[in-house]
Amino acid sequence: MHGVPRFKLTLEYAGTRYSGWQIQKNARTVQGEIDRAARVVTGRNDFELYGSGRTDAGVHARGQVAHLDVSTSLPPDTLVRRLNDELPADIHILSATVVPHRFHARHDAVRRRYVYQVSRRRTAFAKPYVWWVKESLDLAQMRTTAAGFIGQHDFGAFAIEREGDDGSSVVRLERLDLIEDGALILVVVEGSHFLWRMVRRLVGVLVAVGRGDLDSRAATALLNARSELPAKLTAPASGLFLDRVFYKNEVADEHVRPVTPVGER
């Protein structure tokens, strides 16, 4: 689409009502809603909308990135405002900037950060955005286990293969932290890429360790193995957020805050 501006969009969304990011037939998706809004705002049908990655059904985002190639004379701020006017309230474009055509939302991403919110108390307000774990959790054991997952490993037991994957289940995990914030435990996961369901299964295994249902050494032994256990322990989608997508020369901030503060127990 030579001569057509490319916009880098940064957006947030609550994924509860959607069947994930990617457009699907007969299903409501985040990409589908933005596609529809772009058609209305620009009057164009010939454009490209490409996300940094696919989030699963029910998963949220605080910092999803997409690029939009569309022929329009609208400046970025006006485009953002008009797109938001057309979008449902649970999808919000935070910013748009014009970028060179060599920028690609997915291929140029060097690191991605997910945050999973585990609540240690029942909450009246944040239920769609947390996993409430009723049992007491041993945070020290969970942290010990988390340390064993950092580095390059075969996470095949923690993933589901899907169309478009390159067949490799080896992933380098750069960060796996557990941060206490009031009644929340924030599980922070960073890496260059992730396999489908990998983060939710990691969280489920860590919670099983925290409950005392799984030994720490048995948990890390799931690496390089083929086991059905991580699938059985998969954490619900409600607590998972795509927090940030990093690109070359961007500052990799370490600070992570809760999306929905829950307060003390």
Distance CA 101, CA 98 (A): 9
Least confident of 54-63, 163-172, 190-199: 163-172
Average of per-residue pLDDT across 216-228:
90
Mean of pLDDT over the chain = 92
pLDDT value for 147: 96
User: Which residues belong to the active site?
Assistant: 56
- Does the domain at 109-247 match CATH 3.30.70.660? Answer given as yes
CB 67 within 8 A of CB 8: yes
- Taking Cα atoms as reference points, which of 59, 188, 200, 183 lies closest to residue 133? 183
Average of per-residue pLDDT across 163-177:
79
Average of per-residue pLDDT across 106-125:
95
- Percentage of the chain exceeding pLDDT 70: 96
Average of per-residue pLDDT across 189-196:
91
Task: Sketch the domain layout of the chain as residue ranges.
Answer: 6-99, 109-247
- What one-character-per-residue DSSP string does 67-136 give? EEE------HHHHHHHHHHHS-TTEEEEEEEEE-TT--TTTTEEEEEEEEEEESS--SS-GGG-EE--S-
Q: Do domains 6-99 and 109-247 have the same CATH topology?
A: yes
Average of per-residue pLDDT across 99-110:
95
CB atoms within 10 A of CB 69: 17
User: How long a stretch of residues is the chain?
Assistant: 265
Average of per-residue pLDDT across 153-172:
77
pLDDT value for 165: 53
Residues in Cβ contact with 20 at an 8 Å cutoff, skipping those fewer than 6 apart = 29, 30, 54, 55, 56, 57, 59
Fold type of domain 6-99: Alpha-Beta Plaits (3.30.70)
Average of per-residue pLDDT across 120-137:
95
Q: Please give the model's pTM, rounded to 2 decimal places.
A: 0.93
Tell whether the model's pLDDT for residue 106 goes beyond 70. yes
User: Distance from first CA to last CA of the chain, Å, rounded?
Assistant: 54
Tell whether the model's pLDDT for residue 154 goes beyond 60. yes
Average of per-residue pLDDT across 146-162:
88
pLDDT value for 166: 59
